[in-house]
Amino acid sequence: MSPLALRRFIFPLTHALLWALLGVTLLLIQPLTWRITIPTQFWVKQIALFLMWLTLFYFNAQVAVPRLLFRGRTGWFIVLMISLVVAVVGFTKLVETTLHLPELMTRAFHPDEPNRQPNKSWFDMGALLVSLLVLGISTSIAAVQKWQNDAHIRRDLEQQQTSSELSFLKAQINPHFFFNTLNNIYALTVVNGELARQAIHTLSRMMRYVLYETQAPTTLLSKEVVFVQDYIDLMQLRLTDKVTITFEKPTPLLDVPVAPMLLLPFVENAFKHGISAVLPSHIRIILRQQGTTLDMEVRNTTFPDKRPSMEGDSSGIGLTNTRRRLDLLYPNRYQLAVQEHTPEQEFLVHLTLQVA
C-alpha cells in the first residue's frame, strides 16, 4: 500500500475511533453506571453536547488552525480557543436550563427528598475539560496532517528537481561525446575510408544506445560495458602505436542495473589527458564486480604539458558534473577517489559503486 493510500485509510479510521471512544466512554458508559432512572431530557442533552464537540473539532481542525495558527496568528488563535470553550460551556448550561435538567436530575438522584434544591451552578467542569481535550486533539491531528502533506510536497519537489537536473546533465554529456567523435571520424576519412566506414557503423550503434537506453533511469551493465568498448574501439582507430589501451572486464559479468552513460566520462577523461601522438602513453581501464558492488579503475599517463582536469572544458561536463550525477543517483552508495599524480606518473580515478 502506497503512503498516500495509507494516509487516506489511517486518518478516517483515527477519527472514527476517536469519536467512538469519546461518545461511548464519556456520554454513554458513565451515565449507565448510575443506579437511577435517567430522564429522557438527559440523553437529549448528551446528543446535543456530542454534536457540539463534533462541530468544535472540525471547525478547529479545518478553519481555526489552518487560517490562524499556521499563518502565525497565534494570539488570535488563543482568543478564539477561549471563546469556543466559553461558548460550549454556555451552550451546555443553556440546554440544561431549557430542558429543566437540574430539577429532573435532582429528583432522579434523591427521590426521597422532594424539596431538595437543584444545583444551578453555571460552571460545568466536565464540559470544560472535554472541550479542551477535543481542541487539543484536533490541533494535534491538523498539525500532523500538515507536516505529512508538507513532507510529501517536499519529496515531490526534490524528485522533480533531481529529474530535471539529471536531464540537464545527460543533455550535456551527449553533445560533448558526439562532438568529439564526429571530429575523429572527419579526420579519419582523410586517412582511411574503410576504417571511417567502420567508425560510422560503430557510432551508429552507440547512437542507438544513447537514443534508446538513456531514456530509462537504468540500463543493464552489459550494455554499458559494450558502449564503453565501442567508444574505445572508435578512439583506437586514430591512435598511433605509441598508445596502449587495456580494458579488463569481469568474467563472467553479472548483469545489474546501472545509470546509462555513467562510466563513459571517466574513460573520456583518460583519452583527453592520457595520450600523446609522440610520447609512449597508456590507458588502463579495469572493471571489477563483487556481488552488487561495482569497482572501476581508470589509469592514464600524465604529461608535463598536460594538466589533468576535474572540471572539463567549455564543451564538456568533466568529472565534476559526473560526481554531481553520482550524488543524485547513488547518494551514500558510492566512493570516488581521484589521484592526480601516482608514483607511476599516472592519473588515477577509482569508483566504487553499490548498484543495488
Average pLDDT over residues 182-187: 80
- Report whether pLDDT(35) > 50: yes
Distance CA 244, CA 177 (A): 21
Distance CA 287, CA 285 (A): 7
Between 236 and 170, residue with greater pLDDT = 236
Q: What is the DSSP letter of 214?
A: G
Distance CA 27, CA 130 (A): 11
- Report whether pLDDT(304) > 90: no
Average pLDDT over residues 161-178: 60
Between 73 and 127, residue with greater pLDDT = 73
The lowest-confidence range among 131-140, 185-194, 258-267, 310-319 is 310-319
Which of 97, 22, 93, 28 lies closest to 56 in space, CA to CA? 22
Angle 202-252-230 (CA atoms, 0-180°, nearest 5)?
10
Q: Give the torsion through C-alpha atoms of 238, 241, 243, 248, to 10 deg.
A: 90
Distance CA 228, CA 206 (A): 9
C-alpha cell at 111: 427521590
- Report whether pLDDT(314) > 50: no
Distance CA 268, CA 231 (A): 9
pLDDT band at 97 (very low <50, low <70, confident <90, very high): confident
- Report whether pLDDT(1) > 50: no
% of the chain surpassing 70 pLDDT: 75
pLDDT, position 193: 82
pLDDT, position 175: 65
Three-state DSSP state, 306: strand
Q: Give the torsion through C-alpha atoms of 255, 261, 266, 269, to 10 deg.
A: 150
What is the model's pTM?
0.54
Distance CA 118, CA 307 (A): 98
Q: Which domains does the chain have, with CATH numbers?
A: 3-155 (no CATH), 192-354 (3.30.565.10)
pLDDT band at 103 (very low <50, low <70, confident <90, very high): confident
pLDDT, position 334: 94
